[in-house]
C-alpha cells in the first residue's frame, strides 16, 4: 500500500547498511499493524543477520506486537520511553545511553524509535519533536555503527504532517522494505524554525542584570504560584530560571528581559538577551563530569517539561521554559 509521500524520495534504492557506512536515519510511514510489523520486523531481522544489537523504543501497544512476534529474541532490547519524560530535548541523551549500553565493543546497533504523535500536546511540543528528529542526524553523524528506523502511522492521510516529518530524515523506507534517499531532506546547517508567537495577555515583564538573580527567582516563583504551578515544581523551576538568567548575564551582554505568562495549562518563562548560541546540540548531550560550564541548558531540559531555544547572531537568543500546570 502506497503512502503517497509528498517528499519525493529518490527512485534509487540505497544499498543495505554496512558497518562503518555512517549513521542511517530512516522514516518509515506505515498504515495499520500489518504494515508496521512488516517494516519493523524486516529491519530487525536484517540486524540479527548481521549480528547487530537492536534497541526498540515504541509505544506500549507496538511493544506488545513486536514482543509477540519475536518470542524473546535476546539481541532485541525494549526500553521504556517514558523514562526520558515528555521533553524532546532529553531524548538524544537517552539514545546515547541506550546505544552505549548495547553497542559494547563497537558492536553495531540499530534503533527503532516511534513517537506517539497523536498524543502531542501543543504546537510548541510538535515543533520541538520535529527539531529533535532533525538533530539526530547531527548528533550521530560520527557514529558509523548505528542506524535508526522511525515508524510513523500515516493512516490519517495528513500529508502536511508527513511532509514536515520526512524533511527531517535523509532516508525513506517505503512499503516496509524498500529504502530510498529522500530529496526533501533538510540538510542545511540551520533548522527552519517558525518564529515564536508572542506571549498571551496578561503577562509580566522585567529586565535583569548583575545582582538581580534573587529578584528574578522571586518574580518567577510568585507568577508560577499565581498560575497554579504545584509547590513541588517550584524548586526545580527556580534552578532552571537561575541557570538561564545567569547565562544571559555571562554570555548575553550582561543583561536580559524576563517575561512570564500562563497559556493552556502551561506556565511559561521567557528569557531574551543579545547573546548567540552557535552549538545547536548544547544542552542535549550530558556534560562530562570534568567539564567546566555548559550545564545551564542541560539542567533546564532536565527540569522543565519543554524548552524552546531560538538563537541567531543578528537577533540574539530567546529561551522559553515550559512547566505544566495540573488541570
- Rounded to 10°, the helix 213-227/231-251 angle is 140
Nearest to 45 by CA among 56, 36, 54: 54
CA–CA gap between residue 40 and residue 59 (Å, rounded):
13
Nearest to 273 by CA among 294, 241, 245: 245
Stretch 242-264: mean pLDDT: 96
pLDDT above 70: percentage of residues in the chain: 92
Per-residue model confidence (pLDDT) at position 188: 83
- Assign 181 to helix, strand or coil: strand
Per-residue model confidence (pLDDT) at position 10: 45
Give residue-wise pLDDT tens across range 65-94. Answer: 999 999 877 789 999 888 778 899 999 999
Residue 55 and residue 73 in contact, taking contact as beta carbons nearer than 8 Å: no
Chain Cα centroid distance, residue 281: 11
- Assign 322 to helix, strand or coil: strand
Is beta strand 53-57 parallel, antiparallel or unpaired with respect to 109-113? Answer: parallel
Give residue-wise pLDDT tens across range 43-52. Answer: 999 999 999 9
Indicate whether this model's pTM tops 0.75.
yes
Is residue 193's pLDDT more than 80? yes
Chain Cα centroid distance, residue 33: 25
Domains of the chain: 9-182 (3.40.50.300), 204-324 (3.30.565.10)
Is residue 271's pLDDT more than 90? yes
Peptide bond into 202 cis (omega under 30): yes
- Assign 246 to helix, strand or coil: helix
CA–CA gap between residue 304 and residue 292 (Å, rounded):
22
Stretch 266-276: mean pLDDT: 97
Is residue 210's pLDDT more than 70? yes
CA–CA gap between residue 221 and residue 231 (Å, rounded):
9
Is residue 106's pLDDT more than 70? yes
The DSSP H or E segment spanning 232 is helix 231-251
Residue 152 neighbours by CB distance under 10 Å: 20
CA–CA gap between residue 317 and residue 327 (Å, rounded):
31
Q: How high does pLDDT run on average in the chain?
A: 88
Stretch 301-318: mean pLDDT: 96
> pLDDT higher for 298 or 107?
298
Amino acid at each position: 500500500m502506497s503512502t503517497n509521500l509528498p517528499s519525493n524520495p529518490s527512485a534509487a534504492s540505497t544499498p543495505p547498511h554496512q558497518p562503518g557506512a555512517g549513521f542511517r536515519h530512516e522514516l518509515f510511514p506505515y498504515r495499520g499493524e500489518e504494515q508496521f510489523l512488516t517494516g519493523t520486523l524486516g529491519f530487525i531481522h536484517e540486524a540479527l543477520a548481521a549480528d547487530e544489537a537492536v534497541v526498540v523504543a515504541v509505544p506500549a501497544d507496538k511493544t506488545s506486537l513486536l514482543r509477540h512476534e519475536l518470542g524473546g529474541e535476546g539481541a532485541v532490547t525494549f526500553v521504556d520511553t517514558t523514562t526520558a519524560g515528555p521533553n524532546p530535548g532529553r531524548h538524544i541523551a537517552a539514545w546515547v545511553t541506550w546505544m552505549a549500553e548495547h553497542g559494547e565493543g563497537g558492536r553495531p546497533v540499530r534503533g527503532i524509535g516511534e513517537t506517539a504523535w497523536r498524543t502531542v500536546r501543543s504546537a510548541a511540543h510538535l515543533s520541538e519533536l520535529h527539531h529533535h528528529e532533525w538533530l539526530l542526524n547531527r548528533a550521530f553523524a560520527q557514529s558509523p555503527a548505528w542506524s535508526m528506523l522511525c515508524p510513523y502511522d500515516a493512516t490519517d492521510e495528513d500529508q502536511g504532517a508527513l511532509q514536515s516529518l520526512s524533511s527531517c530524515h535523509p532516508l525513506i523506507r517505503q512499503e516496509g522494505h524498500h529504502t530510498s534517499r529522500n530529496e526533501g531532506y533538510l540538510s542545511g546547517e540551520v533548522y527552519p524554525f517558525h518564529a515564536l508567537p508572542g506571549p498571551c495577555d496578561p503577562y509580566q515583564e522585567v529586565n535583569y542584570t548583575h545582582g538581580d538573580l534573587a529578584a528574578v527567582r522571586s518574580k518567577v516563583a510568585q507568577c508560577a504560584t499565581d498560575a497554579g504551578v504545584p509547590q513541588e515544581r517550584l524548586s526545580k523551576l527556580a534552578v532552571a530560571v537561575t541557570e538561564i538568567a545567569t547565562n544571559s548575564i555571562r554570555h548575553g551582554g550582561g543583561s536580559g528581559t524576563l517575561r512570564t505568562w500562563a497559556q493552556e495549562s502551561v506556565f511559561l518563562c521567557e528569557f531574551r538577551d543579545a547573546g548567540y548560541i552557535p552549538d545547536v546540540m548544547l544542552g542535549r548531550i550530558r556534560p562530562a563530569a570534568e567539564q567546566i560550564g555548559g550545564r545551564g541548558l542541560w539542567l533546564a531540559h532536565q527540569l522543565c517539561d519543554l524548552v524552546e531555544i531560538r538563537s541567531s547572531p543578528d537577533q540574539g537568543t530567546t529561551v522559553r521554559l515550559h512547566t505544566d500546570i495540573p488541570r
